[in-house]
Copies of this chain bind each other. A is one copy, B any other.
Amino acid sequence: MKVLSLFLLVLLCGQQSVLSQGQTEIWDRFEVSLKGPETGNPFSDVSLTAEFSNGTEKLTVNGFYDGEGTYKVRFMPQKTGVWKYRTISNSKSLNGKTGTFTCIGPKQNNHGPVQVADTYHFKYTDGKRYYPFGTTLYAWTHQPQSLEELTLATLKNNAFNKVRMCVFPKYYSGVENEPKFYPYEKKSQSAAANGRVKIVWDFSKFNPAFFQHLEKRIDDLKDLGIEADVIIFHPYDKGRWGFDSLGMENDLKYIKYLTARLSSFRNVWWSLANEFDYIKTKPREAWDIYTRAVIAGDPYKHLCSIHNGSVYYDNWKPEFTHVSIQNGSTVEDFGRAVLLRDVFFKPMVYDEVCYEGDLPQRWGHLSGEEMTAAFWQGIVAGTYVTHGETYKNAGDTIFWAKGGKLIGSSPARISFLRKILEEGPGPLQLADPWKDHKTATADSSYYLVYFGKEMQAEWTFSLPGKSGPSEKRNFQVEVIDTWDMTIKKLPEIFEMAKVENYRIFDKRRKSIRLPMKPYLALRITEVSNK
């Protein structure tokens, strides 16, 4: 992050001319910091935007009050070259400030924001493929520093590249601690009957320290190559703080403030809510208004979705770039994940499919095998799946809740799957989606066949005829043990016959032997003709 303090430069230079404020990488963050009014309510009294331009490229971004008389405008350049800006404010001390900076090309590990690609999939802006392998850390940024750092260390050693995380603190079984920071200023504080602290909030004043901390954690994720799927509202408050019951006016102020602060973070995705339908204080109609407010506050159009409890939202609405679904049954068996995907013509992320763990609740005790199989079911159907871990051992923090350590058996297998996918030529889809729910393809030279729990001693080589390889093309088969994480290449070469009854067999109808084990897969790839 590149932070330049304009007011300091102004002080040092003693002049008001246009300042060159150095260099910022494309898709990185340029920040203007200005001194302005501290009296009254700077959050509501002072308006601040800035126009950024680079040739014909022009964007207007919202600024925000960051406390202690400091106002900021953040900008994520999407084009290299010289950018100019000019501020607009109802405060004389903030209005008409100008400057320039040079946007340079990306350095290593900066691929830009993730976008939708090929209808059902994702890419970074620079064209590099992005396959989401997310995990769930709802309240990880509301924990003691040591725990937050342990979480980051855990993430560093695992393959998850997306984290679902709440802005507001969470109050739920397994997460009952007070956070260090609160998003609003306190009006008063007293001891409640239940022994907890009862706080009265001033919802007209944000607490910049809360957001600065959140931002630091989002930047920490960025440094690990992880996207932050930022959950704007959630139902896990239950009257404790009242952050789910601000009323629409305050909700919209919060969205404006949050998007002004975070839109310039390239690894941010917007998740309007977790389990939107369980937030009983917000009627269904309100979500369109909130969604449009997010879009209005984000000039870069980050990925945006809404996540359901029991009832789906209208995921077809154009504001949603992809679909974020809770429903474990979709990836529990063959032939389901593809059904919802094909409705929307958008990427489908099954963001909550129950969790690996040992909680008594049925959503909290998938085995590692089940969690791993859910990922494979999603991937072969051309969809994506999000992990969560809910083991509750003595003294444990439950990864899904507070973060900490991962102790489950699925993360290593999910990492193994991610590697297989990234080694392939591109994103997958079912080759014959209404009839064969096991065979995914990237193109007619690459197939991944997943058997799930089904065991068999012998498998006759066979691919779907639809858009399949032409006669005489040769293929090899690797047997993947998705649980033991082994890949064994078979010596035989299979030569394609003509399509026969919707399938393509080897010309001698060769078959392969398989170990009598569950959770096997086959990687079938073309080899050049002899």
Contact = CB atoms under 8 A, between A and B. Distances in A.
A438 to B, nearest CB: 13
A492 interface: no
A434 B329 contact: yes
Nearest to A436: B329
A374 to B, nearest CB: 13
Contacts of A518: none
A313 to B, nearest CB: 10
A262 to B, nearest CB: 30
Which one of A315, A335, A339, A342 has the greatest number of beta carbons of chain B within 10 Å? A339
A437 interface: yes
A502 B364 CA distance: 14
Interface string A203-228: 00000000000000000000000000
B362 A502 contact: yes
Interface of A: 311-312, 314-316, 327-330, 332-336, 339-340, 342-343, 362, 433-435, 437, 501-502
A175 to B, nearest CB: 23
17 contacts: A311-B342, A312-B342, A312-B343, A316-B316, A327-B339, A329-B434, A329-B435, A329-B437, A330-B339, A332-B335, A333-B335, A336-B339, A339-B339, A339-B340, A343-B343, A362-B435, A362-B501
A436 to B, nearest CB: 10
Nearest to A434: B329
A99 B334 CA distance: 62
B362 A327 contact: no
A454 to B, nearest CB: 13
Nearest to A340: B339
Nearest to A437: B329
Most chain B Cβ neighbours within 10 Å, of A328, A433, A435: A435
Contacts of A342: 311-312
Contacts of A330: 339
How many copies of this chain does the complex contain?
Answer: 2
A316 B315 CA distance: 10
Contacts of A311: 342
Contacts of A362: 435, 501-502
A433 B336 CA distance: 13
Contacts of A315: 343
Given A336-B339, A362-B501, 15 more contacts: A312-B342, A315-B343, A316-B316, A327-B339, A328-B434, A329-B335, A329-B433, A329-B434, A333-B335, A335-B336, A339-B339, A340-B343, A343-B343, A362-B435, A362-B502
Residue of A334, A343, A362, A433 most packed against chain B (CB within 10 A): A343
5 tightest Cβ-Cβ pairs between the two chains A and B:
A329-B434, A339-B339, A316-B316, A329-B335, A339-B340
A334 B336 CA distance: 9
Contacts of A339: 327, 329-330, 336, 339-340
A315 B502 CA distance: 29
A311 B344 CA distance: 10
A351 to B, nearest CB: 15
A232 to B, nearest CB: 23
Contacts of A437: 329
A314 B312 CA distance: 16
Contacts of A335: 329, 332-333, 336
Nearest to A334: B333
Nearest to A314: B316
A333 B311 CA distance: 23
A362 to B, nearest CB: 6
